[in-house]
Chain A
Amino acid sequence: MTEFYLIPTWFFGFSSLLELFFGLITLGVALYAFYVNRFCDEREIKLFGYGFLAIALSYFSWAFVNWYVPFKASIQEEIFRFNNYEMLVSLGVYAHVFLFLIGLVTLVFLTMMREGNRLYSLLVILSFLIIVFSEQKIISFYFVSSLLLFYMIYHYGREFYEEGGKHNALMLLAFIFLFIASVDFTFSAINHIHFVAGHILFLIGYLFILFNLVLMVKPFLRKQKQKNG
C-alpha cells in the first residue's frame, strides 16, 4: 500500500479551503491570460493560460480529496495515514499529480521559448516516467515538481537580474516559496508537520502571484470604470 501523506486530522478542513484558494488564484491567472489572448492570439499567452488552468484543476481535485476523506471516513487517530485505501481518493490524488505536473511542465517549456512539440513531449514523458517507475510516487512527484520549480526560479531570477521591476520580483519570490513548499512536501509521508508547513509556504507563494495579478488588473479596471462613467 502506498503511503501518500501523514495529515493531522485537525488540518483537514483548513487544507481543503487552502487548496480551493490556490485553485481560485491560479484559475484567475488562467482566465486573465485567456482574456488577454483574445486580443493578441499569442501562443505563449495561450500556453501560459493552459499551464495555470491545469494547476488550478489539480488543486480542485486535491481539495475534493481532502474534503471527501474526513466526510467519508471515521478518523479517530490524531494523525491520518493518507494512503490509497479507496479508489476515488487514489484517483483524486493522481489527478492532482498529473495536472500539476502538466501545468508546471507547460510553464517551464514556455520559459525556454522553443517552438515545436518535441521538447514539450520529452519533458512530459520524462516527468511521468520518473513517477511511474518509482516506489514512493508522492516523494518522486514532489522531487520532480521541485526541479521544475527550480527552473522557474532560474527564469524569473534572470528576468529580475536583467530587467528588474516589481512584477519580476514578485514572481521570483512566489516561485521561491513554491519551491520550498514542494521540497517540504517531499517529507510529508514521513512527518505530518510537513503537510501543514507545505500548505502555509504554498499559501505565501500564491499570495505573491495574486498580488502580481491584482497589480496588473487594477489599472485596467480603473480605465474601464472611467470609460463607463
Chain B
Amino acid sequence: MGKKRSRLEIIRDILVVIKEKSGKIKPTHILYKSNLSHQMMDEYLTELLKKGFIEEGEREDKGRTYCITKKGQMFLERYKMIADFTEGFGIG
C-alpha cells in the first residue's frame, strides 16, 4: 500500500487536475481524479477558494466549474520548494 498523501500533496493533485483541464473543471471530475471522498473534496475546495488558489467559474447550465488562479499556478511552480521546506523541518 502506498504512503498516505500529505495535505500539500492533495492540494497539488487538485490544482494539477484543474490545470490539466485548461483551467476549467467540474467538481465531479475533480472528485474522480483526486481520489478523495466528497466531503474531503468539498473541504479542500473551500480552502483553495479561501486562499485564492482557485476561483469559481461562471455558473453554467451544467453546474459549478473551477479554474486555477495565478496564485494557484505559483503554488505549483514552487511546490518542490514548499515540500522540501516542510519535509526538511518536519512540519505539516
Residues of A bordering B, CB below 8 Å:
29, 32-33, 36, 39-42, 44-45, 48, 110-111, 155-156, 159, 165, 167-168, 171, 212, 215-216, 219-220
12 contacts between A and B (CB under 8 A): A40-B75, A41-B51, A42-B92, A48-B89, A111-B91, A165-B87, A167-B88, A171-B88, A171-B89, A171-B90, A216-B85, A220-B84
The one of B77, B81, B90 in contact with A167, judged by C-beta atoms closer than 8 angstroms, is B90
- Tell me the complex Cα distance, A168–B74, Å: 27
Contacts of B89 in A (CB 8 A): 29, 33, 48, 167, 171, 212
Contact, CB under 8 Å: B91 / A39:
no
Q: How far is the CB of A33 from chain B (nearest CB, A)?
A: 7
Min C-beta distance of A85 to chain B, whole Å: 40
Q: A39-B81, A216-B84 are in contact. Are A156 and B90 (CB under 8 A)?
A: yes
B8 interfacial by beta-carbon distance below 8 Å: yes
The 8 Å CB contact of A36, one of B11, B81, B90, is B81
> Considering only CB atoms, which chain A residue lies closest to B74 in the complex?
A39
Residues of B within 8 A of A159 (CB): 90
Contact residues in B for A32 (Cβ distance below 8 Å): 85
Residues in B with CB closer than 8 Å to A216 are 84-85, 88
Q: Chain B residues with Cβ under 8 A from A48's Cβ?
A: 89, 91
Q: Which residue in A39, A155, A219 is a CB contact (below 8 Å) of B75? A: A39
Size class of the B contact interface (CB-based, 8 Å): 10 to 19
| A165 cross-chain contacts in B, Cβ below 8 A | 87
Cβ of B82 within 8 Å of any chain A Cβ, yes or no, is yes
Q: Which residues of B contact A215 (CB under 8 A)?
A: 88
List the B residue with the shortest CB-CB distance to A52: B89
B86 within 8 A of A: yes
Task: Check B90 against A44 for contact (C-beta < 8 Å).
Answer: no
The interface bits of chain B over 40-75 (1 if a CB of A lies within 8 angstroms of the residue's CB, else 0) are 000000000001000000000000000000000011
* Complexed CA–CA distance, A130 and B88 (Å): 33
Q: Which residues of A contact B82 (CB under 8 A)?
A: 36, 39-40, 42, 45
With A39-B74, A41-B51, A42-B8: A155-B90 Cβ-Cβ less than 8 Å: yes
Nearest Cβ on chain A to B60's Cβ, whole angstroms: 29
Contact, CB under 8 Å: A44 / B84? no
**Which residues of A are found within 8 Å of B86, using beta-carbon distances?**
42, 44-45
Could you say which residues of chain B place their CB within 8 Å of the CB of A42? 8, 82, 86, 92
Q: B5 on the interface (CB 8 Å rule)? A: no
